Each structure stands twice: as C-alpha cells, then as structure tokens.
Amino acid sequence: MKQWRIIFTGASDAFFNMALDEAILQAHEDGDVIPSLRAYLWKPPGVSIGYFQATGNTVDLSKCKENNIDVVRRITGGRTVLHENEITYSVCASIREYPELGENVNETYQKISFALLESLKALKIFGEWVKPHKDRIKMDSTGSINLLQAGSLQLAGNSCLSKPCFISNSRYEITVAGKKLIGSAQRRFQNSFIQHGSIPLGKGKVSLPHLLTEEINKKKMKEKLERKSANLEEILKRKVESKEVLFALKKGFGKFFDAEMIESEPSKREIETAQVLREEKYSTEEWNFRRRTYQPKKVGS
C-alpha cells in the first residue's frame, strides 16, 4: 500500500497559506516527498485572486480592508474566491513518481474529484461531479483549464473571470442537489502539480459580491450565489467542525487511492521556504497587483 502525507496546518493568513502551498509544491518538484494532502483554515478571512485576474479591477480593496479581509493572488488560474468559514484542501504530488494520479490536468481533476466524493460519503453527503463538455474547455498557458464557452475567454477585462467562482460549475467540481459545494483550481509544472480548493463549512459574515468592483447588481449576484452554491452546514442542517472534514478527507483519499494516510507536519525546509515566500512574494504588491513569471524552484520568485 502506498503512503500519503495528510497535513492539517490550522489557521493562517492568506499570504502564509499560499506560501506554504507553494513550498510543499517545491518539495514535490524536487522529488523529495510522497503525495501530500494538506487542509487549512484562513484567519483573518481572505480573498484569493486567480493568476490571470487584475486584482485592482476585481475586488474593492477598501471594502476588503474595512472588513479585515486579506487579498492574495494564487499561482493557479480561475476566478475570485472568498475564504471564510471554510476548510481548504490542497494536493501536491510528483507527476514523474506518481503518474497514476493523472497524466494531464483533466485526468487529475477527475481522480481528485472521486476522492472528494468518497470523503463526502464519510459525512453522509452524496454528491456528484460535473463532467466538462469538450466544447467548453480552453487551456491557459499555466496549464489550468478555464471552462468557458469556446471563444469567450478574454484575459483582459473579462467580466466572466471576475464573477465569483461558486456561481459556475466546472472542472469535475463537486455539486450536491445541483448546487456547487467544492470549487478547485489546478496547475502543473515540469515534475509536479498542485490542486487546491474550497470546502465551505457554512455561511460567512461577508458576501463576495459586496467586495467586487464591478458595476453589477450585487443584490442579484448575492441571490444567485446563494441559489447556485451550497455549504456543509446547509446540507447537514447542523454546524460542521473542521476536524470532521479532516477525518472525512483522510478516509476518502485513503480509500480511493488505496493509500495509507500518515498524519504529518510540514518539514522544516517547507516551513522555512514558506516564510521566505510569504515575505518576498505573497505579501508584496509586486506579486498581488501584476502578473509575474513563476519559477517553481526559485524561492521568492
């Protein structure tokens, strides 16, 4: 039986959360560790911006500051996500050492989706994954898939990309009773990949549409978001603790991948790398407010 690490790092700010994801990814890029499933929380709440989004044109920074919400750019593509009252998962693995996790973006999305569905079963939730239609798949230069109508993807000033992630279903993402529950984003590199995503525990205090800069009917977008998205508390009709989700992830991933899930902590090297990345990359305006070329082996790039 193969082994995986399962790591719960508790609550951190947006900058350290993204930095540690990348630090773990770097360890896999170097081929140093077994597949890693990390789960974590956000304190204070954060908004993560997709790699291709224009931060200042996507969220109202003054409103984020007013509500004590960090804003950070992800290394993965996709749309804006508000991380509040949720548990986030991330999976990193070596493509070279573990080809059974998927030989391309789509295969890996599918496999991780099945593992997430197994995890939900441990919570007595029975979901389904959304299979993307061939006509709706467009690959961006980061290796992320944007599931938009063919020909509709425009990287500059695209209103589609500035809408909240949980308004649309894509990429083998998980729905329950037709509502999106788990949204994910993935990026592949030379030797490894990272996929991370949000599992909402319940409603937050702030609605994402309230934080957007677009001249939109925010009341209608909020209503649409509530209509099209779900959270664990709503489904189970009770408060759900993060430790329950962590147990379910351990059980579901272990079962689907036939793996021994070893409870672990980030290595000393991963923590040190994350601390550098937090200070030199993820907390800087240079990274968060303009696109930069990503070099996975160069700390602080």
Q: Do 123 and 236 contact (CB within 8 A), yes or no?
A: yes
Of 154, 220, 184, 179, which Cα lies nearest the Cα of 76? 184
Tens of pLDDT along the chain (301 residues) come to: 899 999 999 999 999 999 999 999 999 999 879 999 999 999 999 999 999 898 888 889 999 999 999 999 999 988 899 999 999 999 999 998 999 999 999 999 999 999 999 999 999 999 998 776 554 444 333 444 333 222 222 222 233 344 544 444 455 689 999 999 999 999 999 999 999 999 999 998 888 888 887 655 666 777 777 788 999 999 999 999 999 999 999 999 999 999 999 999 999 999 999 999 999 999 999 999 975 554 544 444 4
Q: Do 71 and 46 contact (CB within 8 A), yes or no?
A: yes
Set 64, 92, 160, 165: catalytic member: 165
Cα angle 245, 235, 171 (rounded to 5 degrees) comes to 70
Please write the tens of the pLDDT for every residue from 139-196: 333 444 333 222 222 222 233 344 544 444 455 689 999 999 999 999 999 999 999 9
Write out the DSSP string of 198-233: EEE-S--SS-GGGGB-S-S-HHHHHHHHHHHB--HH
Residue 165: per-residue pLDDT: 47
Q: Which pTM value belongs to this model?
A: 0.84
Rg over CA atoms, the chain: 18
Q: Do 157 and 57 contact (CB within 8 A), yes or no?
A: yes
Q: What is the DSSP letter of 101?
A: G
Residue 196: per-residue pLDDT: 96
| Catalytic-residue membership of 160 | no
Where in the chain are the domains? Answer: 2-288
- CATH architecture for segment(s) 2-288: 2-Layer Sandwich (3.30)
